Structure 1
Amino acid sequence: MKHSKLFTTAVVAAVAGGLLLAATQVSAHAIWFAQRSKQLAMIYGVGADDLDAVKRLPLVTGSKGYNASWQEVPVTLKANGPIVTVDSDEPLTAVTAVMDYGVWARAKDGEFYKKTREEMPDAVMVEHNYKYGVFLNSLTAEVPLLAGQVLQIVPVGPIPELYGKPAKFKVLFNGKPQAGVQFLHDYVNDPDQTPQVTDANGEVSLDIRNQGLNVLAAIYIGPTDDKAKYDHIEHRATLSFILPHKPE
């Protein structure tokens, strides 16, 4: 009987893992912030694929800027040629954005359609996608829970200024530490890496990957809030920051 329980537990875990993997493959793209020609830009894509963020700018439901005291300061995301840049007249410690990417269904042939479960009842899977991005302009700032960031990555202690140094990060879902979240430590340079998974405290430990731009990503498959329209909600969050290089 004991062996049977262990076998059942293993099967359930394997099935759950398979479902999670299938779910995260539906919408591999994220939003994050990076420098473009000395301007801070909001990027939409995955890995080295820097896709059309301007076309998707209407899907951004909110963007906020914060000063060193974590008070909100005005920021605007605007189309600037082929990219979306951050416009602000004040020094920024952090910038955030939220994108509602809508509902997508995967058909039996593997193709994706912008349809609900009601519109495509025989779909293999239907999910609602939300994307969140946070950029930190300070490696030492203690980051609070930020408005609109339903899924948020926060550093636990200061971020090291040298790559290869150990660091710890926590993933919050609705403001609380969330276990079992998939975590990618280099979303731009290694998007197909085997993810870490947050522990019972919602934390992961890793070595900082790049002496330059770092984009960390977290993916959490949350429960649906409208079962008739979609099976679950995928929350995909990034935290980007830059390690300084030596003076020229």
Structure 2
Amino acid sequence: MKKIVKLTAMAAITTSLLAGAVAQAHGIWFAQRSTQLALLYGVGADDLDIVKRASQVSSVSGFDAAGKPVPTSAAPDGRLMLVDTSNQPAVVAAVLDNGTWSKTPEGKWHKKGKDEVPNAVVSEHTWKYAVHLRAPLTAPLGAIPGHVLQVAPVAATLPPMLGDPITLRVLYKGKPVAGARVLHDWVNDPDGQPVLSGADGTVTLKVRNQGLNVIVAILDTPPDDPAKYNKTEHLASLSFVLPHAPE
């Protein structure tokens, strides 16, 4: 009985740590704004200022239904960063380097490394990736160049309805990775319980929304510069829209 209690307590602590790690993260994803596709930055309902972070977006790419590159770009337009979809890409993707951040004991984040914040309790370099499916694919989505972490549906066809299962594969440097924390509704439930990807990188979830779905995977890896930060955090989103019934 003591052993069971101890294991239960350990599991609760692990769950708490995982939830806390997810809660403090921000991500990027794509969503429609006034009939146009926009690249967003934030967490949950907090849609933060992407325009001031435009210089940190290192790539925006597009692909057709078969996975071939299609010319695509994104640029600030007022308070939004809008995507040029004139070439009708089936898939659009983006990468944002969010830089190095350190957290001090009182809970404040500073955009500096631990070499500049000696009392930091944690320091991390954070990268954000986003993939959006705009149209049906003719083949399963492959690894996208430049996306160190990626969430990809295993099948080419998305489930049509809310509540249907969807199997996803989390890729790290183009290969399946185990232990990535996966959240099935980043916009509406960013503090939800994460599910870990399996040994083959896969996880099966139920589609949350008959509308916009934003699924997120988070993976921590060793730091490239240990003198400045303790870890590298990769956060990747996969977004798609399930159509509503005809009006």
> 2:93 pairs with 71, 90, 96, which one?
96
Question: What percentage of residue pairs aligned between the two structures are identical?
Answer: 47
The Cα shift of 1:121 comes to: 2.5
> Is residue 160–residue 166 contact of structure 1 (8 Å, CA) maintained in 2?
yes
Query: What is the alpha-carbon distance in structure 2 between the residues aligned to residue 115 and residue 61 of structure 1?
Result: 20
Q: What's the offset of the Cα at 1:115?
A: 1.2
| AA partner of residue 159 (structure 2) | P
- Structure 1 residue 109: Cα displacement: 1.3
TM-score by length of 2: 0.90
Amino acid in structure 1 at the alignment position of 2:219: Y
The answer to whether the aligner puts 1:200 opposite 2:173 as a matched pair is: no
Q: CA deviation at 1:16?
A: 6.7
| Aligned positions of 1:150-161 closer than 5 A | 150-157=148-155, 158-161=157-160
Partner of 1:199, secondary structure, is coil
Per-residue CA shift, 1:144-182, capped at 9, x if unaligned? Answer: 100111100010112101111111111001111111111
Shift of 1:137: 1.5
C-alpha separation in 2, matches of 1:130 and 1:19: 20
Change (3 A) 1:181 1:149: same
Counterparts of residues 155-174 of structure 1 (less than 5 Å): 155-157=153-155, 158-174=157-173
Partner of 2:67: 70
CA displacement 1:201-234 (0-9 Å, x = unmatched): 1111111111111100001111111111110000
- For structure 1, which runs of at least 5 residues remain unmatched after alignment? none
Match of 1:41 in 2: 38
TM-score normalized with structure 1 length: 0.90
Query: C-alpha separation between the residues in 1 aligned to 2:167 and 2:20?
Result: 27
| 1:16-55 superposed matches below 5 A | 21-26=19-24, 28-55=25-52
C-alpha separation in 1, matches of 2:210 and 2:37: 18
**Alignment partner, residue 127 of structure 2:** 130
How many residues align structurally?
241
Contact 1:197 1:204 in 2 (8 A): yes
What is the CA–CA distance in structure 2 between the aligned matches of 1:88 and 1:206, rounded to whole Å? 29
Partner of residue 177, structure 1? 176
Distance 2:154 2:64 in 1: 20
Cα contact 2:114–2:123 (8 A) shared by 1: yes
Cα distance, 1:219–1:142 mapped onto 2, change above 3 Å: same
> In 2, distance between residues paired with 1:43 and 1:236?
14
SS of the residue aligned with 2:51? helix
Report the Cα distance in structure 2 between the residues aligned to 1:240 and 1:175, rounded to whole angstroms.
Answer: 19
2:226: which partner in 1? 227
Task: Give the gaps of 5 or more residues in structure 2.
Answer: none
Could you tell me how far apart the structure 2 residues matched to 1:211 and 1:205 are?
Answer: 17
Cα gap change, 1:232 to 1:119, in 2 (>3 Å): same
Correspondent of 1:145 among 143, 146, 150:
143
Partner of 2:84: 87
Kindly state the Cα deviation for residue 138 of structure 1 after the two structures are TM-superposed: 2.8
4+ aligned runs moved over 2 Å, structure 1: 13-26, 138-141
> Residues 209 and 22 from structure 1, CA distance in 2 versus in 1: closer, same or farther, beyond 3 angstroms?
closer
Is the CA contact (8 Å cut-off) linking 2:19 and 2:191 kept in structure 1?
no
Does the residue aligned with 1:55 lie in a helix, a strand or coil? helix
